[in-house]
Amino acid sequence: MKCIKKYILLLSSLVIFTGCVSDLNSGNSLAPGESGQGSRFSTNQYSFLTSQLDATSSKNDRNSFLEEFITQSDMQCQHYLLNSQNRTEKVTNSVEQTLYMSIFDTVSLLFGVKYITDTAKEVFISNTNTNTPENQSMYQNALGPEIKRGVEIARLRYANAMRARKNENLESYSITNLQNDMAKYDKQCSNEFGLIEINKALRQAQNQMMRSGVAKPKIDPVSIKKKVEDATKKVEEETKKKEVKKKEAVINEKIKQIEKNKIYKVDK
């Protein structure tokens, strides 16, 4: 019951959370990396051809650096996501857990597959038998392409907003302003931002069902549903295998004990 209450509380805050990320001009908007669960990605600027910015940098210097930063950061981010999604790790980030749960709930509403999504949700609820790093990684890996696509969407939106400020002078868009935006851009190279965009796509699909004229989601909801189903089937298969092995181990132990007792009686 405590787990359910905690999930409802987190899910209610998610509605606010997903609506205020990736806004270049919001200043104080909350982003995953700013909520205590910071992304570990940071663009390596060592190989940049453009000179590092300082107090003497011009507007052209700033703009050239901005373009190289975006290009280099995007390439490095792809490698980072690929490496992070190939690891078997338990999701300890509460925001990320809630984003997965929200995906499962919306998939259930859209496609009527509650029997699938209930199992999926158990994998991300504490104190359940299926709450293991191996099971969670099945969903992370299955949704890897969609997560990567979501990160690309979020970062492209932010990159376009950064580029839109290239015409501004150094007084209105200073080197410090750019450096702050670069830090926020780095934070968006995380599974959280990818999961946020998946949630947005699913909500968009819901809106399409309710009214016409809504733009098509940039991430395919049918593909998301299939990935969740496939991962859930794998989780169920692995769970059954573990249960069989556990039963076999108990039986083998009993057989050993019986044989041991027989030998003891013969010796006696």
Q: Please report the pLDDT score of residue 265 as a whole number.
A: 58
Alpha carbon of 239 to those of 88, 133, 161, 176, 249: distances in Å?
Answer: 17, 13, 46, 52, 15
Q: What percent of the chain has pLDDT over 70?
A: 83
Tokens of 226: 């299939």
* Mean per-residue pLDDT of the chain: 84
Q: Tens of pLDDT along 223-246?
A: 999 999 999 999 999 989 988 887
Predicted confidence (pLDDT) per residue in 48-71, tens digit: 999 999 999 999 999 999 999 999
Is the model's pLDDT at 263 over the cut of 90? no
Per-residue pLDDT at 139 = 95
Q: How far apart are the first and last CA of the chain?
A: 55
d(CA 86, CA 53): 35
Centre a 10 Å sphere on the Cβ of residue 254 and count the other Cβ atoms it contains: 10
Average pLDDT for 172-192: 97
Sequence-ordered strand ranges (E) for 102-180: none
CA 251 vs CA 48, 190, 248, 256: distances in Å:
63, 46, 5, 9
The whole-number pLDDT of residue 267 equals 56
Every domain of the chain and the residues it spans: 2-14+57-233
Greatest extent of the chain over all pairs of C-alpha atoms, in Å: 98
Q: Is the pLDDT of residue 8 over 90?
A: no
The type of residue at 85 is Q
Q: Which residue has the higher pLDDT, 211 or 69?
A: 69
Question: How many angstroms from the chain centroid is the CA of residue 111?
Answer: 22
Query: Given pLDDT bands bounded at 50, 70 and 90, which one contains residue 20?
Result: very low
Where b means 16+ CB within 10 Å and e means fewer, 36-48 reads eeebebebeeeee
65-109 residue pLDDT tens: 999 999 999 999 999 998 887 778 888 789 999 999 999 999 999
Q: Which residue has the higher pLDDT, 83 or 39?
A: 83
Residue 12 tokens, joined: 């209610």
Please give the average per-residue pLDDT across 142-167, as a whole number.
97
Is the pLDDT reported for residue 262 higher than 80?
Answer: no
C-beta separation of 59 from 197 below 8 A: no
Q: pLDDT at position 66, please?
A: 98
